[in-house]
Chain A
Amino acid sequence: MKERWSPARVATGVMMTAWAALFWFLVLSGRELLYVSTRTKWVVPTGAVILTTAALGRLWSARTEEPEPTGKREAWILGLMMVPVVTVLVLPPASLGTYAVSRRSSFLRAGLAANPADITSGPLTLIDIASSPVTALGQKALQQKAGDKVSFVGIVAIYPDTSADEFYLTRFVVTCCVADATVAQVRVVGVTPGRFKNGDWVQVDGDFYPLGDEMLVAASSVKTVPQPHNPYLTP
């Protein structure tokens, strides 16, 4: 019996090819860090290779003696499965912003505590500050750093009850992918009122002071900076 192209198999092969193209696009454009952490970005090139292999295999096996029928419903389901691919390829790149801050847990709640030895031995990071209050040892390590010069990059978050000369410098901490992002924040005081708005990327230089549970930076300089290539921190 003569072999013919099976519409169902071709359609599935095209859908898998579209997904493979998405993964290659992320690898080549470097945009994978908008979605996954540095820890798990290996998944993207791996996915590109196995999706390409599976898509080629599916298309190779698409000629058959008994082509399966394709219903309208199946065709539209395959179409819907390509919608995520279209959204990533067509829309401009974006990262989590201040809208997500109110809908995310703080970094503390995720049970990720920094090692007190790391805090005392090296320069302070936003992750150290956000996670250390979870343990007494962490709090003690932060107390030893009182008055240290710090320099952090993050986005500006201003709440309704935030004073005019303050904001919260915010960074999202991503362990696996953006879906598990948690919020690391430090209060910045001594800012020129009205100069910055929610969502601005800034670099804050100043002195660090732990005041009980509140961590703050007395700013000596705050300047606008472009969004970093990797907008998220990895614990």
Chain B
Amino acid sequence: MSTGSTIERRTAEQIAPWRVLATVLGALVLLAVALRLVDPVRFAWSSNFLLVFNALLIEATPFILLGALVSSAIEVFMSPRAFEVLGRMPRRLQLPAAALAGVAFPVCECGSVPVARRLAARGLAPGAAITFMLAAPVANPIVIASTFVAYKGQSILWTMVLGRILLGLIVAMCAGWVVSLQTKGQLLRPRPDDTLEANREHSERRWREYFGHVGNDFVFMERFLILGAAVAAAVQTFAPQSFINPVAITPVVSQLAMMGLAFLLSLCSESDAFVAASFVQFGVSSQLAFLVFGPMVDTKLSALYIGTYGGAFFRTILITVAAVTLVGTLWIEVLFG
């Protein structure tokens, strides 16, 4: 009797998730029918919203996936020893070397947090590990490529691409220098699941694990892109120019506004240039503030930072990154604005 009920319970547990998925698919079919009947394209505002929303997703989604493909390859196929050469360098060279390593490795902001933690745990100076963590998502090859595509054809193309790389590296090194005052013990929180992860890595075939990582990374990042695209589309659909223009042309306010927006939107750095470029009312320096600050500090990263390094670390990074980004972009405003 008890064996029979155990089997029934297991079968029910196995069927339950499929039922939920079938319900979700059913809801999507109903949505399709409802959209066909209502036809929101008839209304100018909803047509405008859907066009901008979908355009941002169509342009940025391949870059999100490309980032997931590459960062998953680093996670699954690359030996952690590849980074150990950094740890053997003299301490004063570790910060710039870590920043340049960030340029070479296409790791997104979410992927760079555990990588930096692993580097610090393996003996890299904490400041250098944090420099790598902040530099990689702003200045890696995929981010540079997406920024190039987003601004191609505009006179500000090279200001945006080079400004993002250089300012990103400077901000990352400044934050790394501030953090270097801490010891490894102060910085790292112990993680009891480190062993679990290591065991799991060996129990699955690598390619299956690779595509598992790709899928998980894609789902994690794409949801934030969808949210960001919805906010950007709403701003472009409902906010009149008379409201946006005064904010966009006021120095300091415009940079802070774009940094605040980047924090809230939590976009992946591989796709954020497309959203930044859509805010054409804002100048070069404000768009750069969005592109440099966002990949270093945003809502999703806040949770990751606090969970990985603690609240004090998050406050340090927030203040340092915000201050250096603001000063840097104001200089760019003076030079190129």
Binding site for B on A (CB under 8 A): 4, 7-13, 15-16, 19, 22-23, 26, 32, 34-37, 39-40, 43-44, 46-47, 50-51, 54, 57-58, 60-61, 64, 69-70, 72, 75-84, 86-92, 94-100, 102-105, 109-113, 175-180, 182, 234-235
Contact = CB atoms under 8 A, between A and B. Distances in A.
Interface of B: 14, 17-18, 20-21, 23-25, 27-28, 31-32, 35-36, 39-41, 44-45, 47-48, 50-59, 61-63, 65-66, 68-69, 149-156, 204, 207-212, 214-216, 218-219, 222-223, 226, 232-233, 236-237, 239-241, 274-275, 277-278, 280-281
A182 B69 CA distance: 33
Per CB-CB distance, the 4 closest pairs between chain A and chain B, nearest first, are A47-B62, A99-B44, A179-B278, A57-B211
A15 B220 CA distance: 13
Given A46-B62, A84-B53, A179-B274, A13 B44 contact: no
Does more than half of chain A's interface fall in helix, strand or loop, or is it mixed? Answer: helix
B48 A100 contact: yes
Contact of B59 (A76, A177, A235): A177
A234 B232 contact: no
Nearest to A105: B280
Contact of A43 (B62, B208, B240): B62
Contacts of A81: 219, 222-223, 226
Contact of B41 (A22, A47, A64, A92): A92
Given A83-B28, A102-B240, A47 B61 contact: yes
Nearest to A50: B65
B54 A86 contact: no
Contacts of B153: 37, 39, 112, 175-176, 234-235
Contacts of A26: 58
A91 B35 contact: yes
27 contacts: A23-B58, A43-B59, A50-B69, A51-B61, A51-B65, A58-B211, A61-B212, A75-B24, A80-B223, A83-B28, A83-B31, A84-B226, A86-B32, A87-B50, A87-B54, A90-B36, A91-B41, A94-B41, A96-B48, A97-B47, A97-B48, A103-B239, A103-B240, A103-B241, A104-B241, A177-B56, A179-B275
Given A61-B212, A72-B20, A75-B20, 6 more contacts: A22-B58, A78-B219, A79-B28, A80-B226, A178-B51, A180-B278
A7 B23 CA distance: 13
A99 to B, nearest CB: 4
Contacts of A19: 61
A7 B17 contact: yes
The listed residue with most B CB atoms (<10 A of its CB), out of A70, A113, A178, is A178
A203 B240 CA distance: 29
Contacts of A58: 211-212, 214-215
Contacts of A113: 155
Contact of B28 (A54, A86, A94, A176): A86
B37 to A, nearest CB: 10
Nearest to A57: B211
A40 to B, nearest CB: 6
Contacts of B68: 54
A71 to B, nearest CB: 8
Contacts of A179: 52, 55-56, 59, 232-233, 236, 274-275, 277-278
Contact of B51 (A12, A34, A175): A34
The listed residue with most A CB atoms (<10 A of its CB), out of B59, B210, B237, B281, is B59
B28 A82 contact: yes
B59 A70 contact: no
A95 B54 CA distance: 12
A32 B85 CA distance: 45
B51 A94 contact: yes
Contact of A40 (B44, B48, B59, B275): B59
Contacts of A36: 55, 58-59
Contacts of A23: 58, 62
Contacts of A91: 35-36, 39-41, 50
